């Protein structure tokens, strides 16, 4: 009886393995490689759009002229980048890609955003009563930004059956914080065609 039970249990286990299909395979790939699985916004879109748009901004004729007239390195703060698309997009990743491109350009300086500044101010305030006089940072000594970069991410989706076209448009604007004049406006468009084969039974 025990032998029969063992045979039945083994048969059930083998049946479950057969029905379960193959196992999962994980392959590490280069972080800068272009990999599109779903057709949605991904890390490649974020990085390439940030690099292209920031480079376009800093090399525009007007920005180069204004920087020359200032006679010093301007300071930029990145404001709100609003995701108005139909997807959940990690705006923070896109912002970090832009900050990295700005920093590496060496053409401008940039300061922490409003959320980061609040945390930094709390730390400086805490130092006033707890750190030594020699190491405590002074209040009201922040560097004010000259310009603010803001923008939006929008999408348009056209779908029929198992096929769809996803259109992304990223709009960025650079504004002078003193005069509120818009110094630069740019956009980047991405269009993706996604097809899904139907399963024939």
Instruction: Give the model's confidence band at 1: pLDDT under 50 very low, under 70 low, under 90 confident, else very high.
Output: low
In sign, the C-alpha dihedral spanning 91, 95, 100, 105 is positive
Burial string for 42-51 (b: 16+ CB within 10 Å, else e) reads bbebbbebbb
Mean pLDDT over residues 65-81, rounded?
96
User: Is the pLDDT at 10 greater than 90, yes or no?
Assistant: no
Task: Mark out the alpha helices in the chain (DSSP H runs).
Answer: 2-20, 43-58, 61-70, 91-105, 114-130
Query: What is the homologous superfamily of the domain 40-195 according to CATH?
Result: ABC-type transport auxiliary lipoprotein component (3.40.50.10610)
Domain boundaries, the chain: 40-195
CA distance 1 to 7: 10
pLDDT, tens digit (0-9, with 9 covering 90-100), for 113-170: 999 999 999 999 999 999 999 999 999 999 999 999 999 999 999 988 889 999 999 9
**Selected residue with higher pLDDT from 104 and 11:** 104
């Amino acid at each position: 009886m025990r032998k029969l039970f063992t045979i039945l249990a083994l048969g059930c286990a083998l049946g479950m393995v057969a029905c379960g299909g193959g196992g999962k395979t994980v392959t590490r790939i280069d972080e800068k490689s272009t990999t599109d699985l779903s057709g949605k916004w991904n890390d490649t879109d974020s990085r390439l759009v940030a690099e292209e748009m920031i480079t376009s901004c800093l090399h525009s004729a007007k920005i180069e002229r204004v920087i020359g007239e200032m006679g010093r390195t301007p300071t930029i703060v990145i404001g709100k980048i609003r995701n108005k698309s139909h997807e959940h997009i990690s705006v923070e990743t896109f912002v970090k890609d832009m900050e990295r491109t700005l920093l590496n350009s060496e053409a401008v300086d940039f300061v922490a955003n409003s959320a980061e500044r609040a945390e930094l101010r709390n730390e400086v305030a805490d130092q006033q009563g707890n750190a030594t006089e020699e190491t405590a940072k002074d209040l009201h000594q922040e560097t004010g930004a000259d310009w603010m970069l803001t923008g939006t991410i929008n999408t348009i989706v056209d779908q029929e059956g198992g096929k769809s076209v996803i259109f992304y448009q990223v709009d960025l604007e650079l504004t002078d914080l003193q005069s509120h004049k818009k110094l630069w406006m740019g956009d980047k468009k991405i269009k993706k065609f996604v097809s899904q084969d139907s399963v024939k039974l």
